[in-house]
Amino acid sequence: METLKNPPTEKKVFLETFGCQSNVLESDHVAGLLVRNHFTLTGKMEEADVILFNTCSIRQHAEDKVFSRLGQLVDWKRDKEGRVIGVLGCMATSYKDHLLERAPHLDMVVGPDQYLKVPQAIREASQSGQSQVLADFDPLYFPENDPRRLSQPHKAFIEIMKGCDKFCTFCVVPFTRGREVSRPAESIVAEAERLARSGVKEVMLLGQNVNSYGLSPGSKDKTLTFDQLLEEVGRVPGLERVRFMTSHPLDLSDELVETMARVPAVCESIHLPVQCGSDKVLKRMNRKYSVAHYLERVGKLRASIKDLFITTDLIVGFPGESDGDFRRTLDLLEEVRYDAVYSFKYSPRLGTPAARMLDPVPEEAKDARLAALNEKAWKHAAEKCEARLGRVEEVLVDGPADKTPGAFYGKSRQNRTVVFKGQGYRTGDRVRVRIESHKVANLYGTPVEPQGKGRGEK
Ligand code: SF4
């Protein structure tokens, strides 16, 4: 646990988060630590004394954004003594001190397993002017009772494992987050109970591959498998919704599907990345499953869980992907008809096996494939929204809708955004909303009653 080693400070900190839910969770912890250590958080970069970027390395584009932000801060740093700029997260572990060569005005580089040291690193960088690089892995560290500032009072992420042992050839995660380690189940359930007691109604269990929870050689605890853990968390009094992210199709067990179908708090929603519809490309990606296996798992999920919302990740333009391979991806899309697709153009990541593969796909072909894929994916998403018209969705309210005056918004159990007219709702309320229209992938409707019946309706 971080202790206060210096007198209170008045420094204002601007913290910007890039990337996935794991980074959002880590930023919540960093924010909590900073507040406990008497720093002030600000949402305005122009009034900050300290600027921190919690970064993502998953795609070149994400890194480019951070390098561009850093470039814009050269004059800002020079203008006032004692100002501090820090890079946290995946770019810290992938670049370590090489980041200082690209951005010599950077003061601190702090990896995901070292964020407890952020307050002290800020003080030392500010006082000594010496850059701090703290990017080592600490596989045995999990946040147990660390302070945390929840981004939303009614929803929280819970880290159940870290790292990844799958080594997909395009992915940097095994290098930026280390080998797979599961957190003890007792500690996870205790955190879920603490969160529920503090008013949290929905939790998302987070890991790079939650389906292999408790199975990897490096796990601290092998008492429960993921389906058993999900059931335990689903039983925590006060938690109305439990979600999880991300699932690897290879490890998606029948037991997990049955638990999803049986436990009332577990939402009817799954993110199941397929990445490509061609067996040849899946093999080059080292995804370890075939298209047939993937489709069999989707069939099992749909047969077991009524009204299931399925989303996926797809990469176009992986090295060696031919027109025929891409057509197989479109065929897969047609067969599964996802509720939402997160699509990306392949970009080589430093140090990964795919970055050394020959046979790159030309950028124009990648662009054309991405456009064709998105067109089909949006058509399916719109059809899925159409199918919700006239139905009643249980919505957990996130707050007033910024772009629609006199309206609120929240998420359905399936994780669709629902906007509805009304007054006096509070964040965390549950409202039953009849869906009347949709725009892009958002649903719009009118409450049928002020409060839903809630948990137990499955
Ligand atoms: S399963 Fe593959 S894509 Fe996902 S984090 Fe692990 S290596 Fe990366």
Encode pLDDT of 395-407 as tens digits: 999 999 988 889 9
- Least confident stretch, 49-58, 139-148, 403-412, 441-450: 139-148
- Mean pLDDT of the region 207-229: 86
Tell me which of 58, 168, 180 to substitute to probe ligand 1's pocket, judged by most ligand atoms within 8 Å of the beta carbon: 168
CATH 3.30.750.200 fits 277-387, yes or no: yes
Q: Residue 22: CB within 6 Å of ligand 1?
A: no
pLDDT at 194: 93
pLDDT at 58: 83
- Ligand 1, atom nearest to 172 Cα: 8
The residue with tokens 């109305």 is 240
Q: Compute the distance from residue 435 Cα to the ligand 1 centre, in Å.
A: 36
Q: Compute the distance from residue 166 Cα to the ligand 1 centre, in Å.
A: 6
Within 13 Å and on the Cβ side, how many CA atoms surround 148? 22
Q: Residue 167: CB within 6 Å of ligand 1?
A: yes
224, 232 Cβ separation under 8 angstroms: yes
pLDDT tens per residue, range 322-335: 999 999 999 999 99
pLDDT tens per residue, range 349-380: 988 999 999 889 999 999 999 999 999 999 99
64, pLDDT greater than 60: yes
pLDDT tens per residue, range 17-56: 998 888 898 999 999 999 999 999 999 999 999 999 999 9
7, pLDDT greater than 70: no
Q: Compute the distance from residue 208 Cα to the ligand 1 centre, in Å.
A: 6
Q: Write down the domain spans for the chain.
A: 12-134, 152-267, 277-387, 392-449
Q: Using CA positions, which residue lies closest to atom 4 of ligand 1?
A: 208
Closest by Cα among 126, 125, 85 to 106:
85
Q: Residue 173: CB within 6 Å of ligand 1?
A: yes
CATH 3.40.50.12160 fits 12-134, yes or no: yes
Q: Compute the distance from residue 313 Cα to the ligand 1 centre, in Å.
A: 11
Task: Tell me the pLDDT of the chain averaged across its residues.
Answer: 91
Q: Residue 168: CB within 6 Å of ligand 1?
A: yes
Q: Residue 225: CB within 6 Å of ligand 1?
A: no
Q: Residue 179: CB within 6 Å of ligand 1?
A: no
Q: Compute the distance from residue 164 Cα to the ligand 1 centre, in Å.
A: 6
- Using CB atoms within 10 Å of the CB of residue 254, give its burial: 0 to 12 exposed, 13 to 18 middle, 19+ buried: exposed
pLDDT at 9: 63
* Rounded distance between C-alpha atoms, residue 435 and residue 417, angstroms: 11
Q: Residue 32: CB within 6 Å of ligand 1?
A: no
- Ligand 1, atom nearest to 167 Cα: 7
Q: Residue 164: CB within 6 Å of ligand 1?
A: yes
Architecture of domain 152-267: 2-Layer Sandwich (3.30)
Q: Compute the distance from residue 252 Cα to the ligand 1 centre, in Å.
A: 14
- The model carries a pTM of 0.88
CATH 2.60.200.20 fits 392-449, yes or no: no
Q: Do domains 12-134 and 277-387 have the same CATH topology?
A: no
